[in-house]
């Protein structure tokens, strides 16, 4: 299964390059919640690749959505199978709020061909262009009541559809027969993904060091979010929406690969990176990533000069 996943990841990388995306390195140490970041002028994506999408756990979904939210990217999963069989092209699936699709569906989407059908509780649904549905109904001189009677649905359902609610496929086919025209509305995966984005479930931080870090980040004007399944252990964002990718190693010297991963991701995003050592260290930079100790971190945070600290370290690289 892992060989299938890696082959799918390779095909994804090729597609993104072909379609003009910049993509992050999928081979970085510590990549678990996502495999790749991809950006183009028309938007960004944080992507997880799974051969069997049923292996996507809730905590991984929450972290994927959180990273998407913080990087202002659509969080998506590219997959091939589920317990129900092979995923179908042209459909959007969901698991724990994360949009899931085949590579072909994603490729079509980035080329401007939006899917219309998604899987939901009870079956498949079609995204409806409510404004177009109302226009065609009124043009044909039909009332909401007459549409309701002809299709066998409630008047309230007709109103909901005209206000953008999705319809089951069987109802859609009846509406399409009664109201000739294109009633479909392409699914905006980016908008839909971000609408599902949420912070991970609140957990008590049973770590005095991390508690102090979160407090200090607030003093410095940043909201910090802890993460568990990424090379970085936290992402911090300020009012200007600038990001810092952070980690808090026990021993900086033992974290060269992680430092390199964090730095590559920060450079890809054109944002900052910072390692805050839990122990005394004379390292200023590790694999290009700025390094500080807790005492120095406290000093600069309390002065509201965290960015100055990072710039100071970068100048020593």
Contacts of 126 (CB under 8 A, 6+ apart): 116, 117, 166, 167, 168, 169, 172, 183, 184
Judged against a pLDDT cut of 90, whether residue 154 lies above it is answered with yes
- pLDDT for 194 equals 66
For residue 39, give Cα distances in angstroms to 2, 12, 36.
26, 13, 10
Tell me the pLDDT band of 205, cut-offs 50, 70 and 90. Answer: low
Phi, psi of 139 (to 5 degrees): -65, -35
Give the DSSP letter of residue 184. B
Judged against a pLDDT cut of 80, whether residue 317 lies above it is answered with no
Q: Return the CATH number of the domain spanning residue range 208-314.
A: 3.40.1350
| Cα gap 131→298, rounded to integer Å | 55
Judged against a pLDDT cut of 80, whether residue 167 lies above it is answered with yes
Domain segments of the chain as ranges: 2-115+189-196, 125-178, 208-314
Judged against a pLDDT cut of 70, whether residue 248 lies above it is answered with yes
- Asked if residue 246 lies in contact with residue 233, where contact means CB atoms within 8 angstroms, the answer is yes
* CATH topology classification for 125-178: 434 Repressor (Amino-terminal Domain) (1.10.260)
Q: In 3D, which of 269, 273, 292 has the Cα closest to residue 282?
A: 292
81: phi > 0 → left, psi -120 to 50 → alpha, else beta; which?
Answer: beta
- Locus of tokens 């597609």: 15
Evaluate if pTM is beyond 0.85: yes
| Cα gap 60→101, rounded to integer Å | 17
pLDDT one-digit tens code per residue, 295-316? 899 999 999 999 999 999 988 8
Q: In 3D, which of 21, 17, 77 has the Cα closest to residue 46?
A: 77
Token duo for residue 214? 């979160």
- H or E segment and range at residue 94: strand 91-95
- Statement: 2-115+189-196 belongs to CATH 3.40.1350.10: yes
- pLDDT for 150 equals 95
- Asked if residue 281 lies in contact with residue 250, where contact means CB atoms within 8 angstroms, the answer is no
Token duo for residue 32? 């678990």
Token duo for residue 292? 């500080």
- pLDDT for 189 equals 87
Q: Do domains 2-115+189-196 and 208-314 have the same CATH topology?
A: yes
Phi, psi of 276 (to 5 degrees): -110, 110
- Asked if residue 233 lies in contact with residue 200, where contact means CB atoms within 8 angstroms, the answer is no
pLDDT one-digit tens code per residue, 261-299? 999 999 999 999 999 998 878 889 999 999 999 889 999
Give the DSSP letter of residue 8. H
């Amino acid at each position: 299964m892992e060989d299938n996943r890696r082959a799918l990841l390779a095909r994804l990388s090729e597609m993104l390059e072909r379609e003009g995306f910049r993509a992050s390195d999928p081979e970085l140490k510590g990549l678990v919640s996502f495999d790749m970041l991809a950006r183009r002028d028309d938007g960004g994506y944080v992507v997880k690749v799974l051969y069997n999408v049923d292996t996507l756990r809730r905590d991984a979904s929450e972290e994927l959505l959180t990273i998407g939210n913080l990087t202002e990217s659509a969080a998506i999963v590219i997959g091939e199978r589920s317990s129900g069989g092979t995923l179908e092209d042209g459909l959007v699936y969901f698991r724990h709020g994360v949009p899931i699709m085949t590579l072909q569906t994603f490729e079509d989407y980035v080329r401007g061909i939006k899917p219309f059908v998604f899987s939901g509780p009870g079956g498949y649904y079609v995204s409806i262009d409510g404004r177009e549905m109302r226009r065609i109904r009124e043009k044909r001189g039909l009332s909401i009541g007459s549409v309701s009677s002809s299709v066998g649905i409630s008047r309230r359902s007709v109103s909901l559809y005209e206000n953008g609610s999705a319809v089951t496929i069987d109802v859609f086919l009846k509406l399409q027969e009664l109201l000739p025209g294109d009633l479909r509305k392409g699914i905006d995966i980016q908008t839909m993904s971000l609408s599902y984005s949420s912070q991970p479930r609140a957990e008590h931080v049973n770590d005095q060091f991390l508690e102090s870090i979160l407090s200090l980040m607030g003093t410095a004007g940043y909201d910090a979010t802890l993460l568990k399944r990424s090379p970085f252990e936290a992402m911090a964002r300020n009012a200007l929406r600038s990001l810092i990718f952070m980690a808090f190693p026990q021993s900086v010297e033992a974290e060269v690969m992680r430092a390199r991963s964090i730095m590559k991701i920060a450079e890809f995003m054109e944002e900052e990176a910072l390692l805050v050592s839990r122990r005394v260290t004379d390292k200023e930079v590790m694999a290009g990533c700025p390094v500080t100790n807790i005492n120095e971190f406290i000093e600069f945070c309390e002065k509201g000069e965290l960015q100055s600290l990072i710039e100071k370290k970068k100048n020593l690289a």
